[in-house]
Amino acid sequence: MSISAAQVKVASCVCLSIVAISVITFAAPDAKLESVLTRMDEAATRFRATEANFAWTQYNKVIDEPMETQTGKIYFRRAGKDIQMAAEITHPDIKMLVFSGGKIQIYQPHTDQIDVYDAGSHREEFESFLVLGFGGGGHEMLKSFDVQYIGEERIDAVDATKLDLTPKSEKVRQQFAHILLWIDLQKGISVQQQLFQTSGDYRLAKYSDIELNQKIPDSAFKLKTSAKTKTVSH
């Protein structure tokens, strides 16, 4: 069975728009966007792997305060044309996720159970949150998103380029109204993401202590289970 929309729901944004009053005004953002996408393309050709610390914080639009923050370590690596992801959540609960080959595995030690989901028709939703901005080319994003250049912004001592992404897929837009993406163009990867749900709630994902193209052991992409671990397919 394919995973339900509720299980892949992670977050979504306040719409930003650029009002142009002249041809020159239109040309500047377009030229800057093209430059950014090209630099992302160049970085993607060099991308092999990334590891970083993360903090994923869920916000409620009514109170605009964090409801929960998950922290841990995350890994990405290129496997052929695909990007694999593994995340080890260490707070508030220990949990591990592995996304590879269109499937996601979630292991929770306290239940000693692996839940396996075939992303199926929801693969785009998974990839939008899990691997967006890590190893993909800039022009590749245009296949799935309408992209706007917003400007430059400093994020935790990193000079980042801010992009506004609107999903082209109606299925994805049912989950995410749009996504703000901050890219470190020196490394070609995301340092921050803000994913806005259609409800107005959003998730802020921040990445720090990023190491690029270091050797990541295969064990990082394997669940640390016991001999009694139960596997359940959904």
DSSP 199-223: TS-EEEEEEEEEEES----GGGGS-
Fold of 5-233: outer membrane lipoprotein receptor (LolB), chain A (2.50.20)
Q: What angle do CA 119, 124, 130 make, to 5 degrees?
A: 85
Q: Which residue has the higher pLDDT, 137 or 64?
A: 137
For range 8-16, the mean pLDDT:
33
| CA-based nearest residue to 8, from 106, 101, 96, 136 | 106
Rounded Cα distance, 226 and 210, in Å: 30
Q: Domain residues of the chain, as ranges?
A: 5-233
Confidence of residue 15 (pLDDT cuts 50, 70, 90): very low
Rounded Cα distance, 71 and 87, in Å: 10
Confidence of residue 9 (pLDDT cuts 50, 70, 90): very low
For range 88-104, the mean pLDDT:
90
pLDDT (tens digit, 9 = 90+) per residue, 100-155? 878 889 999 999 999 998 877 666 666 655 678 888 888 988 888 999 999 999 99
Rounded Cα distance, 161 and 210, in Å: 17
